[in-house]
Amino acid sequence: MRAIAEELGAHAERLEGAWSVEIGRSGPALFRTSAPTRHEGTVRRVREQLDRQVPSTRPGHVCARPHVEHPALGRMRRPDAVVIPEAALDEEGLAVDATQVLAAVEIVSPSNPDNDYVEKLDDYPAMDIPLYMIVDPRTGTIEIHSEPCRGRYTRKDPYIYGDSVPFGPWVVDTAAFRRYGKAGN
């Protein structure tokens, strides 16, 4: 699977726009990485909040946006944000080892919500990532998935925009998050 993903990545470099290769349960896939500005604004807000809190709870860790891979499962994803040891960003290779990831965050894309709600909700617990936050600007909702067991999360906690959302040892304030297609909201 990795060889196919690398071929897709080489092909993507010749395409216009930004592209990302991921490997899910069904194999490698090529995704156009353009996202609405509200998607990117939400990614930035989450990352800034986690960046402020992570050093005091997990010294030596940062919030970043690398590819994450679990070679034994043959899966590779690019979350919108992960909490990882800062040293992982200096390692060789194309992706961070999933076993180093403490938490993953995805902001739902308006064009492909199943990628976050189905495929990555399947992949992240299988990769043994302890926490997974799904932020959905379409609906103004947030889900925190935790307690992975036998390849699935056993706990789901729902929230809405405006809540202060507990996410492991951190809290994400969602008051400034904006929904897609909602002026000023």
For the segment 27-66, what is each residue's pLDDT rounded down to a tens digit?
655 455 555 678 889 999 999 999 999 999 999 999 999 9
Q: What is the pTM of this model?
A: 0.83
Instruction: Identify the band that residue 76 occupies on the pLDDT scale cut at 50, 70 and 90.
Output: confident
- The answer to whether the beta carbons of residues 48 and 75 sit under 8 Å apart is no
Q: Encoding tokens for residue 160?
A: 């809405």
Q: What is the pLDDT of residue 37?
A: 78
pLDDT at 174 over 70: yes
Q: Is 27 helix (H, G, I), strand (E, B) or coil?
A: strand
CATH C-level class of 36-173: alpha beta
- The answer to whether the beta carbons of residues 32 and 26 sit under 8 Å apart is no
The CA distance from 112 to 31, in Å, is 10
More confidently predicted of 76 and 54? 54
What does 37-101 look like in DSSP terms, one character per residue?
HHHHHHHHHHHHHHHHHHHHHSTTEEEE---EEETTTTEEE--SEEEEEGGGGGSSSSSEEGGG-
pLDDT at 26 over 70: no
- Tens digit of each residue's pLDDT (9 = 90 or more) over 88-137: 999 987 789 999 999 999 999 888 898 899 989 999 999 999 999 999 99
Task: Report the pLDDT averaged over residues 146-167.
Answer: 97
Task: Report the pLDDT averaged over residues 146-173.
Answer: 97
Burial (CB count within 10 angstroms: exposed 0-12, middle 13-18, buried 19+), residue 42: buried
More confidently predicted of 14 and 131? 131
More confidently predicted of 72 and 148? 148
CA angle 21, 24, 29 (to 5 degrees): 35
Q: Encoding tokens for residue 127?
A: 């990769």
Q: Encoding tokens for residue 19?
A: 């592209």
